[in-house]
């Protein structure tokens, strides 16, 4: 069914009908993730001869992009006049990285990842991949070491196109020493791992120290009711900008972006990852472009 017709049918539904359809779709995705994870496990076992000693040594020191690129609401602004089939090409002309969010909801297949690898063509492009909620929200890091290794196959397929693995935990996931140990002990040190918390209890020195020792990147967040600061626990820093007052709807001012630019410059990090997740009204690509200009002439240590 054409996208326009699907959109019209969606508009005809009541809020309750939309909510019910979303719930049914999410339930199906969660059921499907179990089977998809099993298939990737089998694929990893077949490919175990392909060993990766560590994350690729990428050239640029600053990567700035958006949390996703396929937003229907951007069609009249960022993608104005661009046919939908050319949206990715349009995004590729402006950014050299993207944070894939779809992988959070649906565990990717090997074919999905191979398609990601082909999409940029000859352009040097890097993906950060958000880890499936089957690990972070359903199992909540309980007995997930094998699942994490299986998901890591994505990095082996992407090769030099692989950036970070982003593990996002739910707001109800409060800090405990047991949970901290579960995270640190299960993450694969051969990958570039980033962990994003949504509960303020994780902003503490014990968590920072454990992350530093394991080389895990603590995700710095700009979001409602979260500490507004840059945390560095590794040679690289990772920043997600959701909006300090309202999730996904904030248009960052020049002064707000300048504050983050100053923090990043002062961090001493060797590599910086920044993704804007304020997709409403296409603020994300606008703000990402503005911050990139501010950091364009910054030299980071090698």
Residue-wise pLDDT for 54-110, tens only, equals 777 777 799 999 999 999 889 999 999 999 999 999 999 999 999 999 999 999 999
Query: CATH second-level architecture of 3-295?
Result: Alpha-Beta Barrel (3.20)
pLDDT at 19: 73
User: Between 51 and 59, whose confidence is greater?
Assistant: 59
Contact 234, 212 (CB under 8 A): yes
pLDDT at 3: 52
Which SS3 state, helix, strand or coil, does residue 70 take?
coil
Distances (CA, A) of 111 to 14, 40, 41, 114, 191: 36, 10, 14, 5, 21
pLDDT at 30: 81
Distance of CA 168 to the CA centre of its chain: 8
Distance of CA 217 to the CA centre of its chain: 13
What average pLDDT does this structure show over 217-232?
96
- For residue 242 the two structure tokens come to 């959701």
pLDDT at 302: 41
Provide the strand spans (E) within 24-159. 62-66, 97-100, 126-130
Contact 64, 291 (CB under 8 A): yes
Tell which residue, 30, 36, 26, 56, has the closest CA to residue 150.
Answer: 36
Q: For the chain, what percent of residues have pLDDT higher than 90? A: 73
């Amino acid at each position: 069914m054409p996208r326009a017709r699907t959109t019209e049918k969606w508009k005809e539904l009541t809020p309750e009908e939309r909510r019910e359809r979303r719930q049914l779709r999410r339930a199906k995705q969660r059921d499907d993730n179990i089977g998809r994870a099993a298939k990737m496990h089998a694929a990893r076992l077949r490919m175990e001869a392909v060993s990766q000693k560590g994350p690729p040594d990428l050239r640029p020191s600053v990567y700035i992009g958006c949390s996703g690129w396929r937003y229907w609401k951007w069609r009249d602004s960022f993608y104005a006049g661009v046919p939908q089939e050319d949206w990715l090409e349009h995004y590729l002309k402006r950014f050299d990285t993207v944070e894939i969010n779809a992988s959070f909801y649906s565990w990717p297949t090997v074919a999905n990842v191979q398609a990601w690898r082909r999409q940029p063509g000859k352009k040097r492009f890097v993906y950060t991949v958000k880890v499936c909620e089957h690990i972070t929200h359903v199992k909540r890091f309980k007995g997930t070491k094998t699942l994490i290794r299986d998901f890591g196959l994505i990095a082996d397929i992407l090769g030099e196109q692989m950036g970070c693995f982003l593990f996002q935990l739910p707001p109800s996931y409060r800090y405990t020493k047991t949970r901290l140990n579960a995270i640190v002990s299960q993450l694969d040190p051969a990958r570039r791992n980033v962990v994003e918390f949504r509960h303020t209890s994780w902003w503490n020195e014990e968590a920072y120290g454990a992350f530093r020792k394991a080389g895990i990147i603590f995700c710095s967040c700009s979001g409602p009711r979260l500490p507004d600061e840059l945390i560095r626990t590794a040679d690289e820093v990772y920043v997600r900008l959701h909006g300090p007052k309202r999730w996904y709807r904030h248009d960052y001012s020049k002064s707000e972006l300048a504050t983050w630019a100053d923090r990043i410059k002062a961090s001493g990090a060797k590599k910086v990852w920044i993704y804007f997740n304020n997709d409403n009204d296409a603020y994300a690509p606008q703000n990402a472009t503005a911050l990139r200009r501010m950091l364009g002439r910054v030299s980071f240590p090698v």
